[in-house]
Homo-oligomer: A and B are copies of this chain.
């Protein structure tokens, strides 16, 4: 077999790496390997399917992209656990969302500082309706579920609405703190969800590999008086979380 010719093998012109991926996926979906179970190594798959190790890697990479498996550096490749649901239709915070699914939430403050609005990105400043010299709290946290890193949050709050926010305990729900300490009750969220990828810095802060699939959520929160109280850019693990939206038709529609 000459190099590069295998693309014509496998019946129907299916590249070798896709054929191998399909067969491994079938094993997983058949329950032969359960959640958390070990998938054969790259070298094992190469021998088993008569392909090169690099081709076996491409097969595993494809399964990873599909969310069927996750790779742990130097340990092996394992079948992914079921995903955690995050409800987009609710203003409930991340912590309460996890608790509802019996998952123990955690949060760790990575950075907490107060800066003039000129130092945050223009969209953030505009969304919060703050002028360039106005103070803004910047809070960066990692979020975990049952000790496993799930998200990296970067939130911005206008300091004039919650002056000493960063002096409080911020390892729980920030929305609770805003509510109880400042009378700021999140009442309306706008959230944009898109596919993206971690850069090295974010991967390090979150404590996961840089090539984990990521969903970015850009969020603006308003209180009942329609004051903008938070602008956030969050990075969620697409391999562990699924977003759910429940929508009702209002009388304006149709």
Does any Cβ of B come within 8 Å of A242's Cβ? yes
Query: What residues of B have a CB within 8 angstroms of the CB of A210 in the complex?
Result: 18
Contact A89 B254 (CB under 8 A): no
Contact B243 A188 (CB under 8 A): no
Interface residues on A, range: 35 or more
Contact A193 B193 (CB under 8 A): yes
A193's partner among B22, B224, B244, B247 (CB-CB below 8 A) is B244
Min CB distance A181 to B, Å, is 15
Mark interface residues in A127-147 (1 if CB within 8 Å of B CB, else 0): 000000000000000000000
A92 vs B211: C-alpha distance when bound (angstroms): 34
Query: What residues of B have a CB within 8 angstroms of the CB of A22 in the complex?
Result: 199
Contacts known (A83-B194, A195-B238, A211-B65); A188 close to B253, Cβ less than 8 A = no
Closest to A198 in B: B66
Contacts known (A88-B247, A89-B245, A187-B248); A195 close to B179, Cβ less than 8 A = no
Contacts known (A66-B197, A200-B14, A211-B65); A88 close to B238, Cβ less than 8 A = no
Query: What residues of B have a CB within 8 angstroms of the CB of A211 in the complex?
Result: 62, 65
A253's partner among B92, B192, B242, B247 (CB-CB below 8 A) is B92
Does any Cβ of B come within 8 Å of A60's Cβ? no
Mark interface residues in A40-68 (1 if CB within 8 Å of B CB, else 0): 00000000000000000000001001110
A192 vs B238: C-alpha distance when bound (angstroms): 12
A188's partner among B193, B215, B246 (CB-CB below 8 A) is B246
Min CB distance A201 to B, Å, is 10
Contact B197 A65 (CB under 8 A): yes
Closest to A185 in B: B254
A67's partner among B85, B90, B197 (CB-CB below 8 A) is B197
